[in-house]
C-alpha cells in the first residue's frame, strides 16, 4: 500500500469502528475491507433484494422463510428457503443460489453467532453488532455486521463470511495451480 492508500484505509477503519465494527474479532471482514479499499475485491454476487418472514401460527408453530434475489455473471437467481430463524433461512437461500457455481460453499460451516447491543439505552431500536465465525474445516475466520436491524447486521456478517471463505478457496486454487 502507498502512503495515501494506507492513510485512507486507517481513516475508513476508524470510521467503521466508531459505528460499532470491531475488526479484531472479524479477520475475514477486515481482509475483505482491505481488498475493497485496494481495488482487489471481487464480489460473489450482486444483491437485488432479500426478504425474511417469520410467521407464528395459532397452533404455536413458528415458521421462517427467506427469499433472496441476486445476480451472478449476468444471471438472475431467485431462491426461497426455510430455516429455524431468519438468518438460517437467508443462509440456506443464499447457499442454494450460489453452491452450484461455487461448490466450495458447501464446505463452509457457520460455527458461532454472537449478537451484541451497542447502545442499550435505545432498547429494541438499538444498533446491534453481529459476529460470525465460519470454518471450511481447515481455517476459522470471523466476520461482522452492524445495523439498527439485527437481520441486516446478520446478513452483512453472513455475506462477508461466505465471500471470505470463497476468497480463501480461490487463493488456494491459484497457489496449487502455480506449484
- Predicted confidence at residue 175, as pLDDT, reads 47
Segments making up each domain of the chain, as ranges:
1-40+107-179, 45-101
CATH architecture of 45-101: 2-Layer Sandwich (3.30)
Phi, psi of 110 (to 5 degrees): -85, 115
Q: Do domains 1-40+107-179 and 45-101 have the same CATH topology?
A: yes
| Contact residues for 120 (Cβ-Cβ < 8 A; gap 6+) | 126
Rounded to two decimals, the pTM is: 0.90
pLDDT at 94: 98
pLDDT in tens, 115-166: 999 988 888 889 999 999 999 999 999 999 999 999 999 999 999 999 999 9
Number of H helices, E strands in the chain: 4, 6
Q: What are the pLDDT tens digits along the chain (179 aa)?
A: 788 888 888 999 999 999 999 999 999 999 999 999 888 888 989 999 999 999 999 999 999 999 999 999 999 999 999 999 999 999 999 999 999 999 999 999 999 999 999 988 888 889 999 999 999 999 999 999 999 999 999 999 999 999 999 987 665 554 455 55
For residue range 130-142, what is the model confidence (pLDDT) as tens digits? 999 999 999 999 9
State whether residue 89 is helix, strand or coil.
helix
Contact between residue 82 and residue 63 where contact means Cβ atoms under 8 Å apart: yes
Fold annotation for 1-40+107-179: Double Stranded RNA Binding Domain (3.30.160)
CB-based contact 65:32 (threshold 8 Å): no
Which phi and psi angles does 131 have, rounded to 5°?
-115, 130
Q: What is the predicted pLDDT for the residue at 158?
A: 98
Amino acid at each position: 500500500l502507498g502512503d495515501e492508500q494506507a492513510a485512507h484505509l486507517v481513516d475508513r477503519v476508524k470510521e467503521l469502528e466508531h459505528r460499532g465494527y470491531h475488526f479484531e474479532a472479524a479477520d475475514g471482514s477486515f481482509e475483505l475491507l482491505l481488498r475493497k479499499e485496494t481495488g482487489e475485491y471481487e464480489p460473489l454476487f450482486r444483491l437485488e433484494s432479500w426478504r425474511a418472514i417469520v410467521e407464528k401460527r395459532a397452533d404455536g408453530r413458528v415458521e421462517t422463510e427467506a427469499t433472496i434475489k441476486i445476480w451472478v455473471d449476468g444471471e438472475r437467481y431467485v431462491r426461497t428457503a426455510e430455516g429455524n430463524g431468519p438468518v438460517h433461512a437467508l443462509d440456506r437461500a443464499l447457499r442454494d443460489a450460489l453452491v452450484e457455481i461455487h461448490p466450495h460453499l458447501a464446505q463452509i460451516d457457520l460455527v458461532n453467532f454472537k449478537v451484541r447491543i451497542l447502545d442499550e439505552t435505545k432498547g429494541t431500536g438499538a444498533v446491534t453488532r453481529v459476529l460470525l465465525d465460519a470454518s471450511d474445516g481447515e481455517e476459522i475466520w470471523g466476520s461482522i455486521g452492524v445495523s439498527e436491524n439485527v437481520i441486516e447486521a446478520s446478513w452483512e456478517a453472513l455475506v462477508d463470511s461466505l465471500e471470505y471463505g470463497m476468497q480463501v478457496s480461490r487463493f488456494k486454487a491459484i497457489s496449487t495451480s502455480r506449484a
